[in-house]
Amino acid sequence: MNTQIGNWKIYALGDHAIVFALEAKVDKQIISKIMSLHHLIQNKKIDGILDCIPSYHTLTIVYDVNTFFPKQHNTIEYLKSFANQMICALETSHSFSENKKSSIIKVPVCYDLEFALDLENMSSQKNISIAEIIETHTAKNYDVYSIGFMPGFAYMGIVDDSIQMLRHEKPRVNVPAGSVGIAGVQTGIYPSNSPGGWQIIGRTPFKIFDPNPQILAKFKVGDQIQFYAINKEEFEKLNEYKS
Amino acid sequence: MSIKIVKKGLSDSIQDRGRYGYQHLGIQPSGCMDIISAWLGNYILQNDLNAPIFELHFPSSQFLFDRDYTICITGANFVPLINEKSIELNTPIQVKQNDILSMLQPIEGRTAYLAIQGLLSEPAWLQSNSYTGKILEKEQAIDFKVSHLPSGHNQVLTKDLIEKVHAQVFDHQAPIRFLPGPAWKDLDEHSLSSIVNDTFTISPQANRMGFNLSGPKLTLNNPNAYLSSAVTRGSLQLLPNGNLIVLMADHQTIGGYANLGQIILVDLPRFAQMKSGQPFQFSLTNLGMAHQLYHNIYEQFKY
């Protein structure tokens, strides 16, 4: 199954998922359109849809083969008509503009060298002072384009050219929870202790993922994040990782 | 009322159909590697088909029963023993207080299931008892509410079902069928032919997250950088070194490698049961066929 409706390409991903895709770009307009479709489909609470996963330029719908389709159906025809209905509903809805009002989530980061494992190295490699790196990292709002790798890990962008740095070739065995990192155009926060290759420039005292079903992930795709610098005393005061 | 782990296995866990509805937050679905064998165990005991079940790998845990239970072992044949006496697979077995279940040796397959008649009383997280990376520990006690259902299944029908399941899950001569994925069109001509004509084997690096394969090196026409997007169980991801990894139950929610295709649902249990070193071939199929094959198996489990 592979079809085109306006700017959308819709294709089957194996036998239990379908993908709605726009142009493959890291782009704010594209992710907000993806999120409009995400909200629209989630709000419809359609039988048989198990998951609805936005990421950059795609929205992937995972379905249950037994319950998603009506009794008598042609698989391909049904998926095409489903895709058509969703895109038509999106074009007649106002959710696109509603979404735009997403609030900015402010996230404190302590850039102290005790936490910022790669900051000195980045400063010498990029030939830019530590103070400038911090200033640049906190200067703009980032959009969440994707969540994955581990529960709650948000891929945010776009990082300013001057502080972009590739992942370590050999990942660290253990990156502490709350570590704030850079990987190419992306910045993100490790929600729990984990192996990882991102360039670590600081740590947030905020819990990014909480298994409590009422809380779960702090960020959703489409959210806007702004980092602000705090010192170590403030970090200790705000530290949500203390048991 | 509980079943106690008296000896820890390599990587045994409790699984069900998996945790869906949270992948947009990066929460993996997990779930049974071989859902068809899990269904069979629950079906034979007249449990809900997707009831939580013990998933066992070899060397497996040893279980001590604190009272009488009806159990059933399906999937891989690890030669199950009750107090050192061998018991049948795919059959309801009465165990008594203080009986010990252990597994002697892996004869066939990679993953066995231990179903208990009744209901697990452990708390679920987000509507599922499948946890990524949470394995059964020594001395852990798992509570079940035992239920006794009045009538058994039609013996003839059940025997027929067991044979069908065995043919579907353990016929390792049959090719593993898949549907082409978004990066299929980026494969070079030689790779397009090699993926469906050459033989692959499962490497020793195979676990609940993914099975690495060895086989012909595959190459892309334009080594593209792909933006990460959702992957599924059964996704064939092409690594930069030209080898494939097949994503399994504990897969991450998104992936950025070239996604060449996805193994169809009905063949995933057979793939999951293949041991490291097992040679096999891939073959292409279509979506309509994939759904029909799935229904053909699923319909067999109607009560």
Q: What does pTM read for this prediction?
A: 0.95
CA distance B257 to chain A (A): 13
Q: Count H helices, E strands: chain B?
A: 5, 22
Same structural domain for residues A9 and A57? yes
- Reading the block at residue A37, the tokens are 């479709």
Same structural domain for residues A212 and A196? yes
Same structural domain for residues B107 and B40? yes
Same structural domain for residues B11 and B81? yes
Same structural domain for residues A130 and A151? yes
Last residue of a domain, one of B141, B170, B199: B170
Decide if A26 is inside a domain: yes
Among the partner residues B226, B254, B291, nearest to A75 by beta-carbon distance? B291
For residues A232 and B1, give the distance between their C-alpha atoms in angstroms, rounded to a whole number.
50
Chain A CB contacts of B265 below 8 Å: 14-16, 65
**CATH number for the domain including A59?**
3.30.1360.40
Same structural domain for residues A149 and A47? no
Instruction: Check B264 against A24: CB less than 8 A apart.
Output: no
For residues B51 and B65, give the distance between their C-alpha atoms in angstroms, rounded to a whole number.
19
Among the partner residues B23, B126, B288, nearest to A75 by beta-carbon distance? B288
Q: What are phi and psi of B15, to 5 degrees?
A: -135, 160
Same structural domain for residues A39 and A153? no
Same structural domain for residues B76 and B184? no
Decide if A201 is inside a domain: yes
Is residue B110 within 8 A of residue B272, CB to CB? The reply is yes
Same structural domain for residues A28 and A86? yes
Mutation pick from A3, A15, A20 vs chain B, by most beta carbons of B within 10 Å, is A15
pLDDT, tens only, A160-197: 999 999 999 899 999 999 999 999 999 999 999 999 99
- Reading the block at residue A76, the tokens are 């391909």
Question: For A98-114, what is the mean pLDDT?
Answer: 84
Domain count for chain A: 2
Residue whose token pair is 């991801």: B237
Same structural domain for residues A59 and A117? no
Q: Residue B194: CB partners within 8 Å, gap ≥ 6?
A: B216, B218
For residues A203 and A69, give the distance between their C-alpha atoms in angstroms, rounded to a whole number.
47
Same structural domain for residues B280 and B183? yes
Q: How far is CA A175 from CA A198, A236, B194, in A?
A: 9, 19, 39
Same structural domain for residues A85 and A128? no
Residues lower than pLDDT 50 in chain B: none
**CATH number for the domain including A146?**
2.40.100.10
What domain range is B182 assigned to? 176-301
Q: How many CB atoms lie within 10 A of CB B44?
A: 23
pLDDT, tens only, A2-47: 999 999 999 999 999 999 999 999 999 999 999 999 999 999 999 9
Decide if A21 is inside a domain: yes
Decide if A243 is inside a domain: no
Same structural domain for residues A52 and A129? no
Q: What are phi and psi of B194, to 5 degrees?
A: -65, -35
Peptide bond into A158 cis (omega under 30): yes
- Starting at the edge strand found earlier in the chain, the sheet holding B282-284 runs B279-280, B200-206, B210-214, B244-247, B235-238, B258-263, B176-180, B282-284
Domain count for chain B: 2
Give which of B177, B291, B174 is closest to A48, Cα–Cα: B291
pLDDT, tens only, A202-224: 999 999 999 999 999 999 999 99
**CATH number for the domain including B210?**
2.40.100.10
Same structural domain for residues B66 and B166? yes
Same structural domain for residues B212 and B135? no
Same structural domain for residues A231 and A126? yes
Instruction: Check A76 against B229: CB less than 8 A apart.
Output: no
CB pairs under 8 A between A and B: 133
Same structural domain for residues B187 and B214? yes
Last residue of a domain, one of B170, B188, B211: B170
Same structural domain for residues B196 and B154? no
Last residue of a domain, one of A48, A83, A99: A99
pLDDT, tens only, A141-150: 999 999 998 9
pLDDT, tens only, B122-132: 899 999 999 88
Same structural domain for residues B60 and B154? yes
Is residue B240 within 8 A of residue B250, CB to CB? The reply is no
Decide if A66 is inside a domain: yes
| Closest B-chain CA to A63 | B20
Q: Residue B107: CB partners within 8 Å, gap ≥ 6?
A: B77, B78, B79
Q: List B94's β-bridge partners, or say none.
A: B70
Return the pLDDT at A157: 95
Return the pLDDT at A184: 92
Last residue of a domain, one of A73, A99, A125: A99
Question: For A61-79, what is the mean pLDDT?
Answer: 94
Last residue of a domain, one of B101, B136, B170: B170
Same structural domain for residues B181 and B166? no
Same structural domain for residues B105 and B67? yes
Same structural domain for residues B183 and B118? no
ipTM given for this complex: 0.96
Last residue of a domain, one of A75, A99, A123: A99
Chain A CB contacts of B290 below 8 Å: 14-15
Same structural domain for residues A48 and A33? yes
Same structural domain for residues A55 and A110? no
pLDDT, tens only, A118-129: 999 999 999 999
> CA Rg, chain B, in Å?
20
What domain range is A12 assigned to? 2-99
